[in-house]
Amino acid sequence: MTKKTALVTGAGGGLGHATVERLVASGWKVFAADISEGLLRHSMHDPDVVPLVMDVTDSQSIQSAYDAVASQTERLDGIVNFAGVMGIGSLTDIPEERLARILDINVMGTYRVNKTFFPLVEAAKGRIVNLSSENGWQSAAPFNGPYAMSKHAIEAYSTSLRRELALLGVKVVTIQPGAFRTQMVAGIEDAFTAAEAETPKFARAIRKLKKLAGKEIESARDPDILAQVIETALTTKRPKPVYSVHPDKLRSAIEKLPLRTADRLYLAVLRRAHKG
């Protein structure tokens, strides 16, 4: 029996690694891609894992990875787009080049990978799984604009792509994770600290949000929980268009409020911190 094949980007991160392990355990052959070979060493011992060094911001790097995959298989049953970065900061102060890089990795990177590898997915009538976030469907919190912008863009991209590719029998699934125990989530507090230094006029308000983010980090879940959802999205006969996986309860509650009420709530919290 021929093994199913998948490309997983961001495979060196916590969620990507957990997904690679779960798929391999279920009998898949996985092309595990990340920007650094060092990030992939944990997977190199398994014969069903093919490590690929790939920079999602570099079209030539992606093409080289495609050539390597195409030399081993004529089809891909799935692409899972984990490659991404966090972005915290005031939209009046974040350097243009840093905002551009966040969007380049999180949005354009996903687009480039899917575009380049699509012939192999089409050949298998496979599936594309795009990683959004709870930030992709929730209204953007203050100072989380850079990341939220990228994930709202992924939502629109995935929805349009899903409706296009339905004509070709290729399913597109969007995943909206809450907090999971990964290096990215662990680094959120550091990102807030950097934003404090970058934005003196909002430093106290950002510090307050950092404390709230810390509480969400404490409730972060095991990455394998999300990996199970990814496997379901790749294998179930009729996958949901969107899977929301353990979103933060407080943020979800805020989403149920009228926009003006939510605005006033954020303002009240931040104003107290701002006045110190």
CA-nearest of 191, 234, 190, 224 to 14 is 224
Instruction: Determine which one of 66, 147, 157, 243 is catalytic.
Output: 147
Strands 29-34 and 5-9, bridge-based pairing:
parallel
For 99, other C-beta atoms within 10 Å of its C-beta total 17
Q: What distance in Å separates the CA atoms of residue 132 and residue 232, rounded to the nearest whole number?
A: 17
Which burial class, exposed, middle or buried, applies to 96 when counting CB atoms under 10 A from its CB (0-12, 13-18, 19+)?
exposed
Token pair in block for residue 104: 């380049």
Within 30-108, where are the H helices? 59-70, 96-103
147 a catalytic residue: yes
Contact status, residue 133 vs residue 29, Cβ threshold 8 Å: no
Ramachandran class of 230: left when φ > 0, alpha when ψ lies in -120 to 50, beta otherwise: alpha
Q: What is the CA radius of gyration of the chain?
A: 19
CA-nearest of 80, 23, 89, 21 to 56 is 80
Token pair in block for residue 216: 């969400």
Q: Which residue has the tokens 């970065």?
A: 85
Q: Which residues are catalytic?
A: 147
